Amino acid sequence: METQATISERREGYDPAAIEPKWQQRWERDGLHRARIDPERRKHYFLTMLPYPSGDLHIGHWYAMTPSDARARYLRMQGYNVMYPMGFDAFGLPAENAAIKRNIHPKEWTYANIDRMRRQLRTMGAMWDWQREATSSDPEYYRWTQWFFVKLLAHDLAYRKHAAVDFCPNCNTTVAREQVVGEARLCERCDTPVIKRDLNQWFLRITRYAEELLRFEGIDWPERIFALQTNWIGRSEGAHVTFRTEQGDALEVFTTRPDTLWGATFMVLAPEHPLVAGLTTDGQRAEVEAYVAAATRQTDIDREAAGRDKTGVFTGAYAVNPVNDEKIPIWIADYVLMTYGTGAIMAVPAHDERDFAFARAYGLTVRPVIQPSGMAPLDGDTMTEAVIAKGAMIDSGPLTGTPADEAVSRTVAWLGERGIGRAEVVYRMRDWLISRQRYWGCPIPVVHCARCGAVPVPEEQLPVELPDDIEWRPTGESPLKFHPTWRHTACPKCGAAAERETDTMDTFMCSSWYHLRYLSPDYDGGPFDPDEYRYWMPVDTYTGGAEHATMHLLYTRFFHKANRDMGVETGPEPMLQLRNQGQILASDGARMSKSRGNTTDPDELVANHGADAVRAFLMFGYRWSEGGPWNAGNIHGVVRWLGRVWDLVQRVREAGGPDANGDGAGGDAKLVRDVVRSTHQAIQRVTHDFEEFEFNTVVSELMKLTNAILASESAAAAGAGRALVGHRGVRESVLTLLTMMAPVTPHLAEELWAQLGQPYSIHQQPWPEADTALAADDLITLVVQVNGKVRGKVEVAAGIDEPEARSRALALPNVERAAGGREPRRVIYVPGRLVNIVV
Specify which residues 627 forms β-bridges with.
583
User: Comparing C-alpha atoms, which of 821, 820, 827 is closest to residue 805?
Assistant: 827
Nearer to ligand ANZ, 262 or 528 (CB): 262
b/e map of 75-85 (b: 16 or more CB within 10 Å)? bbbeebbbbbb
> Cα separation of 164 and 522, whole Å?
40
Candidate segments 145-153, 243-251, 342-350, 490-498, binder of ligand ANZ by CB under 6 A: 342-350
- Residues in 224-243 that interact with ligand ANZ by CB under 6 A: 236
Shortest Cβ distance from residue 305 to ligand ANZ (Å)? 12
Least Cβ distance, residue 558 to ligand ANZ (angstroms):
22
Residue number with CB closer to ligand ANZ (409 or 570) = 409
The Cα 129–Cα 135 span in angstroms is 14
Q: Which helix (H) or strand (E) holds 706?
A: helix 695-719
255 binds ligand ANZ (CB under 6 A): yes
Q: Phi then psi for 197, rounded to 5 degrees? A: -140, 150
- Show the 3-state SS of 178-238: HHEECCCCEECCCCCECEEEEEEEEEECHHHHHHHHCCCCCCECCHHHHHHHHHHHCEEEE
> Which residues are bridge partners to 327 per DSSP?
320
Angle, CA of 396, 398 and 401, to the nearest 5°: 65
Radius of gyration of the chain (CA): 35
Handedness of CA 165, 168, 169, 174 (dihedral sign): negative
The least CB distance from residue 284 to ligand ANZ, in Å, is 21
Residue 730 touches which member of Zn ion, ligand ANZ, none, C-beta under 5-8 Å by kind: none
Nearest CB to Zn ion, comparing residues 348 and 491: 491
Which region, left, alpha or beta, applies to residue 720 given φ > 0 means left and ψ of -120 to 50 means alpha? alpha
Nearest CB to Zn ion, comparing residues 274 and 453: 453
186 φ/ψ sector (left φ>0, alpha ψ -120 to 50, else beta): beta
Q: Which is nearer to Zn ion, 449 or 638 (CB)?
A: 449
Residue placing its CB nearer to Zn ion in the complex, 451 or 636: 451
Among 67, 106, 329, 341, contact with ligand ANZ (rule: CB under 6 A): 341
Shortest separation between residue 479's beta carbon and Zn ion, angstroms: 25
Examine residue 411 and tell whether it contacts ligand ANZ (CB under 6 A).
no
Measured from the CB atom, the residue of 254 and 646 that comes closer to ligand ANZ is 254
Q: Which of 337, 452, 720, 783 binds Zn ion (CB under 5 A)?
A: 452
Which of the stretches 204-212, 244-252, 329-337, 517-525 binds ligand ANZ when contact is defined by CB under 6 A? 329-337
Please answer whether residues 565 and 207 qualify as being in contact, where contact means their C-beta atoms are separated by less than 8 angstroms.
Answer: no
Residue numbers 472-501 binding Zn ion by CB under 5 A: 491, 493-494
Q: Which of residues 360-379 bind ligand ANZ (CB under 6 A)?
A: none
Residues in binding contact with ligand ANZ, number by CB under 6 A:
19
Judged by CB, which is closer to ligand ANZ: 426, or 585? 426
Q: Torsion angle, CA of 353/356/358/359, rounded to 10 degrees?
A: 170
H or E element at residue 816: helix 813-819
Select the binding partner of residue 256 from ligand ANZ, Zn ion, none (C-beta < 5 to 8 A, by kind): ligand ANZ
For residue 166, give the 3-state DSSP assignment.
Answer: strand
Q: Among 110, 229, 245, 260, which residue interacts with ligand ANZ (rule: CB under 6 A)?
A: 260
Report what 491 binds from Zn ion, ligand ANZ, none; CB cut-off 5-8 Å by kind: Zn ion
Give backbone dihedrals phi and psi of 162, rounded to 5 degrees, phi first.
Answer: -75, 125
Return the half-sphere exposure (C-beta side, CA atoms, 13 A cut-off) of residue 685. 19
- The alpha carbon dihedral of 34, 38, 41, 42 has a sign of positive
Instruction: List Cα–Cα distances, 758 to 444, 712, 830, in angstroms.
Output: 55, 24, 37
Nearest to 389 by CA among 374, 411, 367: 374
Binding partner of residue 236 among ligand ANZ, Zn ion, none, CB under 5 to 8 Å per kind?
Answer: ligand ANZ
- Report the residue from 337, 404, 783, 827 that binds ligand ANZ according to the rule CB under 6 A: 337
3-state secondary structure of 447: strand
Q: How far apart are CA 628 and CA 621, in angstroms?
A: 9
Q: Which of 33, 61, 132, 257 binds ligand ANZ (CB under 6 A)?
A: 257
> Are 408 and 65 in contact, with CB atoms under 8 Å apart?
no
Q: Are 395 and 369 in contact (CB under 8 A)?
A: yes
Provide the Cα torsion 610, 615, 618, 621; round to 10°.
Answer: -80
What are the Cα distances from residue 270, in Å, to 195, 300, 307, 349, 353?
A: 19, 11, 18, 17, 17
- Closest contact distance (angstroms) between CB of 561 and ligand ANZ is 24
Q: 494 is in the binding site of which of ligand ANZ, Zn ion, none (Cβ under 5 to 8 A by kind)?
A: Zn ion
Residue 100's binding partner, choosing from Zn ion, ligand ANZ, none, with beta-carbon cut-off 5 to 8 A by kind? none
| Residue with smaller CB distance to ligand ANZ, 384 or 485 | 384
Three-class secondary structure of residue 723 per DSSP: coil
Beta strand pairing call for 497-500 and 446-449: antiparallel
Spatial neighbors of 186 by CB under 8 A, at least 6 apart, are 180, 192, 193, 194
Q: If binding is defined by CB under 6 A, does position 540 make contact with ligand ANZ?
A: no
Nearest Cα residue to 244 out of 326, 312, 339, 356: 326
Q: Which does 451 bind (CB under 5 to 8 A by kind): ligand ANZ, Zn ion, none?
A: Zn ion
Closest to Zn ion by CB, 466 vs 491, is 491
Q: How far is the CB of 432 from Zn ion (least distance, A)?
A: 27
Which residue in the set 35, 346, 378, 819 belongs to the binding site for ligand ANZ (CB under 6 A)? 346
- Looking at the Cβ atoms of 351 and 722, the one nearer to ligand ANZ is 351
Q: Please report how close the Cβ of residue 423 comes to ligand ANZ at its closest, in angstroms.
A: 13
Tell me if 348 contacts ligand ANZ by CB under 6 A: yes
Residue whose CB is less far from ligand ANZ, 263 or 627: 263
Residues 432-451 that bind Zn ion (CB under 5 A): 449, 451
- Considering only residues 416 to 455 of the shown chain, the ones binding ligand ANZ according to CB under 6 A are 426
Binding part of the chain for ligand ANZ, among 162-170, 344-352, 448-456, 537-545 by CB under 6 A, reads 344-352
For residue 815, the one-letter residue type is V
What's the closest the beta carbon of residue 208 comes to ligand ANZ, in angstroms? 19
Q: Which of 114, 317, 328, 345 binds ligand ANZ (CB under 6 A)?
A: 345
- Shortest distance in whole angstroms from residue 406 CB to ligand ANZ: 17
DSSP annotation string for 75-115: HHHTT-EEE---EE---SHHHHHHHHHH---HHHHHHHHHH
Which CB, 305 or 494, lies closer to Zn ion?
Answer: 494
Tell which one of 343, 368, 726, 743 touches ligand ANZ (CB under 6 A): 343
Taking the complex as a whole, the smallest distance from the CB of residue 257 to ligand ANZ amounts, in Å, to 4
**336 in contact with ligand ANZ (CB under 6 A):** yes
Q: Which residue stretch of 2-10, 253-261, 469-477, 767-775 sits at the interface with ligand ANZ (rule: CB under 6 A)? A: 253-261
Q: Say which entry of ligand ANZ, Zn ion, none residue 449 contacts (CB below 5 to 8 A, set by partner kind).
A: Zn ion
Binding residues with Zn ion: total (CB under 5 A): 6
Nearer to Zn ion, 77 or 491 (CB): 491
Q: Please, where are the H alpha helices in 329-456?
A: 353-362, 404-417
Chosen from Zn ion, ligand ANZ, none, partner binding at 609 (C-beta under 5 to 8 Å by type): none
Nearest residue (CB) to Zn ion, 453 versus 759: 453
**Least distance to Zn ion from the beta carbon of 150, Å?**
16
Residue count (the chain):
839
Enumerate binding residues for ligand ANZ (CB under 6 A). 236, 254-257, 260, 270, 335-337, 340-341, 343, 345-346, 348, 351-352, 426
Q: What residue ranges bind Zn ion (CB under 5 A)?
A: 449, 451-452, 491, 493-494
